[in-house]
C-alpha cells in the first residue's frame, strides 16, 4: 500500500513537472515569436550591410511615357544573425541625394526617383554574394525640380543615372523600406520592419556583353530602349554630410562620408576634393 502511494506521488510529481514545462513553453514560444524575434530581426536588419559591386540599368528612350527601368545587380550582403535568414520580397523607395550641392535635384537636394521590389534572397550567416534582376517603377512626380528637365525634358531618374554612370558621380542614393519581412528557422517573423541604407555610387565600366535590347519585348513595345547603357558600383555609407557649397568648385573640399564595413573596425572614407 505504501509502495502504491509512493508510486502515485511519483507519477503526480512527474505529471506536475510536465504540466509546468508545457505551461512555460506555451508562454515562452508566443513571447519569442511575437516579441523577442521581431526585436532581434529589426536589430539585425539595421546592422546588415549591402555593397553593390555592379549594377547595370536598361531603360526606354522616354521615361515619362514609359516609367520603368530594368536593373541587373550583383551585390555583397552581410547577415549579422547567428543563423540563415530569408529576406522576403519587399518594396524600397529610391531617393537621389545631392550631397555635393551641385543643383541636380532641386532646392531640397533630395528627390524620390523610383520604387523597386527587392526579390526574395536567402542569406547565410556572414557574407553573401547576390545576383538579382529587378524592375524599377520610375517616379516622375518631381521632374520639374531636377536640373535638366526644362532644358532637355530629362526625368530625375535619368539625371541621376547620367550623373552617376556617365559623368562618374559619386551620387548619393537612399534605399528605404517599411515592409521588410524575414523568415528564420522555418518561421516567418510577425510584422514588417524598417530599413534605410545610404549608398555612395560611382561609375564603373559598362558590361562587355550587354543585354541585346532589340530582343526585349518591353523595349520593342516602348519604341526602343536607350543605347546608353551605364553601370555603377555603390558602397554603403553611414551617412551623407551635406556640402555647404558646390563641391565642383576647384579647391573646395567637403562631403566626407564614412563607409560601413562588416569585417573591420576601421572606417575608410570617401572624400570629395576637386
Domain ranges of the chain: 1-47, 49-273
The whole-model pTM stands at: 0.77
Look at residue 41 in the predicted model and tell me its pLDDT.
Answer: 66
Cβ atoms of 174 and 199 closer than 8 Å: yes
Beta bridge partners of 110: 97
Q: How far apart are CA 100 and CA 47, in angstroms?
A: 26
Per-residue pLDDT of the chain (274 residues; tens, 9 = 90+): 444 455 565 554 555 455 444 443 333 444 344 445 666 666 776 778 899 999 998 899 899 999 999 999 999 999 887 878 888 999 999 999 998 888 888 888 999 999 999 999 998 989 999 999 999 999 999 899 888 888 888 899 999 988 888 887 788 999 999 988 888 777 778 788 888 999 999 999 888 778 887 778 888 888 888 887 889 999 999 888 888 887 777 666 676 555 555 443 333 333 333 2
* Phi and psi at residue 219, to the nearest 5°: -65, -45
- Give the DSSP H or E segment for 137: strand 126-138
* Residue 179 CA to its chain's centroid (Å): 12
Q: How far apart are CA 56 and CA 254, in angstroms?
A: 28
Q: How far apart are CA 40 and CA 201, in angstroms?
A: 30
- Give the DSSP H or E segment for 67: none
Grid cell for residue 44: 539585425
Beta bridge partners of 74: 54, 131
Look at residue 23 in the predicted model and tell me its pLDDT.
Answer: 42
Q: How far apart are CA 81 and CA 270, in angstroms?
A: 28
Amino acid at each position: 500500500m505504501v509502495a502504491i502511494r509512493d508510486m502515485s506521488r511519483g507519477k503526480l510529481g512527474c505529471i506536475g513537472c510536465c504540466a509546468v514545462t508545457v505551461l512555460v513553453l506555451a508562454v515562452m514560444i508566443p513571447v519569442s515569436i511575437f516579441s523577442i524575434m521581431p526585436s532581434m530581426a529589426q536589430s539585425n536588419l539595421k546592422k546588415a550591410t549591402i555593397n553593390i559591386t555592379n549594377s547595370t540599368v536598361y531603360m526606354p528612350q522616354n521615361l515619362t511615357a514609359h516609367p520603368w527601368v530594368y536593373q541587373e545587380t550583383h551585390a555583397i550582403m552581410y547577415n549579422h544573425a547567428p543563423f540563415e535568414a530569408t529576406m522576403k520580397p519587399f518594396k524600397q523607395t529610391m531617393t537621389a541625394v545631392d550631397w555635393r550641392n551641385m543643383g541636380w535635384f532641386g532646392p531640397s537636394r533630395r528627390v524620390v526617383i523610383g520604387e523597386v521590389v527587392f526579390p526574395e534572397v536567402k542569406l547565410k550567416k556572414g557574407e553573401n554574394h547576390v545576383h538579382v534582376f529587378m524592375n524599377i517603377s520610375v517616379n516622375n512626380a518631381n521632374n520639374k525640380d531636377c536640373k535638366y528637365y526644362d532644358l532637355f525634358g530629362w526625368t530625375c531618374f535619368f539625371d541621376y543615372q547620367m550623373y552617376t554612370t556617365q559623368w562618374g558621380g559619386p551620387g548619393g542614393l537612399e534605399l528605404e523600406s517599411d515592409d521588410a519581412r524575414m523568415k528564420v528557422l522555418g518561421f516567418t517573423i510577425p510584422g514588417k520592419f524598417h530599413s534605410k541604407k545610404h549608398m555612395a555610387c560611382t561609375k564603373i565600366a559598362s558590361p562587355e556583353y550587354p543585354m541585346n535590347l532589340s530582343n526585349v519585348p518591353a523595349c520593342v513595345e516602348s519604341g526602343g530602349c536607350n543605347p546608353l547603357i551605364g553601370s555603377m558600383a555603390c558602397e554603403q555609407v553611414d551617412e551623407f554630410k551635406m556640402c555647404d557649397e558646390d563641391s565642383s568648385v576647384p579647391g573646395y573640399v567637403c562631403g566626407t562620408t564614412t563607409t560601413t564595413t562588416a569585417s573591420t573596425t576601421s572606417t575608410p572614407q570617401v572624400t570629395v576634393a576637386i
